[in-house]
Amino acid sequence: MRLRSLLFAPADSARKVEKALGAGADAVILDLEDSVAPTAKAAAREQAVAALRGRPDVLVVRINPRGSAPYLADLAAVVPARPAAILLPKCTGPADLLMLAGQIDVLEAAAGIPPGAVGVLLLATETAQSLRDMDYAGVSPRLRALCFGAEDLSADLGIGPRHPGGGFAAPVAAARDRLLIAAAAAGVAAIDTPFPDPRDPAGLGLETAAAAADGFSGKLCIHPGQLEAVTAAFTPPPERVAWAREVVRLLDGSGAGVAVLDGRMIDIAHLKLARRVLATARDEPSGDRP
């Protein structure tokens, strides 16, 4: 599953889920957390399971945070329906991932699902506490991506996430940088925070272009109208794909540590980058990272 554009849809609204599934996102996130009222959690859970019977390959389920009352009920209901991944909000560190991965192990075995079929995405910067330990490398092979959450973090810090003239507030920007580094260290994708105003395509374009340039692999979306710009920003252009293919041809399996391409030296670092480019390109086989 590609992770360029991920569109949220409240799990308790069949109409919005159906619309999201037809909007062209790489993945649709069925939300059981923020967009669902406490009194509607059980019904939303049932509707999420029903939706998973149709397109589990593109469906991710955002469950409620670890330690909340609905957390275990969410997992027990959703994992047997085999979503592509579970999105854990308010992740406080590697211990949360380790616990979640172990619980999914048990539920997969009980449901007869092949081990490791259900991936995990983490919203890894939603609280100040979550920034204390972001060493997710080697914790679980289920981990597919670390997701940047600016809005919840800024609320926890008591500030606005963005300056009036654009750009993130200093502590939010610092958390963004840490997430990019943590994702690279863990060998997984980094997914950018949602852009909050669907009526501002120019602002979305600027923020998305900056995210792609900084190394994010994709972006969370809150409206179908955001998908086209987001998907395009995280899809490498043909000339970049051609460069990556040539780097792989020259270095992969050749035994050479260096080569020359277009008059410039390339080495193993370029090979790693080339594989990542091909992994995000259309109609290319998967590489080292999603």
pLDDT of residue 288: 42
Q: How confident is the model at residue 54 (pLDDT cuts 50, 70, 90)?
A: confident
Strand pairing report for 264-267 and 258-261: antiparallel
Helix (H) or strand (E) holding 29: strand 27-31
- Which pLDDT tens digit goes with each residue over 80-96? 999 999 999 999 999 99
Percent of the chain with pLDDT over 90: 80
pLDDT at 8 over 70: yes
pLDDT of residue 289: 41
The CATH-assigned architecture of domain 5-233 is Alpha-Beta Barrel (3.20)
Helices in the chain by DSSP H: which ranges?
14-21, 41-52, 71-78, 94-111, 150-157, 170-186, 201-214, 227-233, 238-251, 268-280
Q: What is the mean pLDDT of the chain?
A: 93
pLDDT at 75 over 90: yes
pLDDT at 285 over 60: no
Alpha-carbon gap, residue 224 to 201, rounded angstroms: 12
Q: How confident is the model at residue 284 (pLDDT cuts 50, 70, 90)?
A: very low
Closest alpha carbon to 162 in 218, 95, 207, 221: 207
Residue 62: C-alpha distances to residues 9, 29, 217, 226, 273 (Å): 10, 6, 19, 20, 30
70 Cβ neighbours under 8 A, 6+ residues apart:
32, 41, 45, 63, 64
- Which pLDDT tens digit goes with each residue over 114-168? 999 999 999 999 999 999 999 999 999 999 999 999 999 999 999 999 988 778 9
> What does pTM read for this prediction?
0.90
- Which pLDDT tens digit goes with each residue over 18-42? 999 999 999 999 999 999 999 999 9
- Which pLDDT tens digit goes with each residue over 244-273? 999 998 898 666 789 999 889 998 889 888
| Domains of the chain, residue spans | 5-233, 238-280
Helix (H, G, I), strand (E, B) or coil at 220: strand
pLDDT of residue 287: 39
Q: How confident is the model at residue 282 (pLDDT cuts 50, 70, 90)?
A: low
pLDDT at 290 over 50: no
